[in-house]
């Protein structure tokens, strides 16, 4: 099983996938510290820095992802637009990045998707 993580943070989903025996082929995390952690623990994976510019073509070119093999895509897209603890601006919040995750899902067409977010969504 291949694993691609979006909004990867310091690799929670990546670590879980490793424990499952899956291969981490790519991640996407904008935070420099998070990318440092991902680079350290998964040096063979491709680590991208901006969900807005991640494409299927880039994954094919830069990672060892094989689109013919089963893939699970995970992501904990930002919760602030919907969290009860925030202003709940929804789609008006610049951190509303679910559409970017959906764009990648539609392009990559993984067998499974795991999305993590808050109740308010």
Catalytic residues: 79
- Cα–Cα nearest to 75, from 43, 116, 45: 116
Q: Exposure of 98 by Cβ count < 10 A (0-12 exposed, 13-18 middle, 19+ buried)? A: middle
CB-facing half-sphere around the CA of 45: CA atoms within 13 A: 30
Residue 101, number of CB atoms within 10 A of its CB: 23
- Both tokens of 101, joined, read 């995750």
């Amino acid at each position: 099983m291949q694993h691609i993580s979006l909004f990867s943070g310091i690799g929670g989903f990546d670590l879980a996938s490793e424990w499952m025996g899956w291969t981490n082929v790519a991640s996407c995390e904008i935070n420099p510290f998070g990318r440092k952690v991902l680079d350290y623990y998964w040096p063979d994976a491709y680590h991208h820095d901006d969900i807005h510019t991640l494409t299927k073509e880039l994954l094919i070119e830069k990672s060892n992802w094989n689109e013919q093999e089963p893939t699970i895509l995970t992501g904990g897209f930002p919760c602030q637009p919907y969290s009860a603890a925030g202003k709940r601006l929804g789609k008006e919040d610049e951190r509303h990045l679910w559409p970017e995750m959906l764009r990648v899902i539609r392009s990559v067409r993984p067998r499974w998707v795991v999305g993590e977010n808050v109740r308010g969504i």
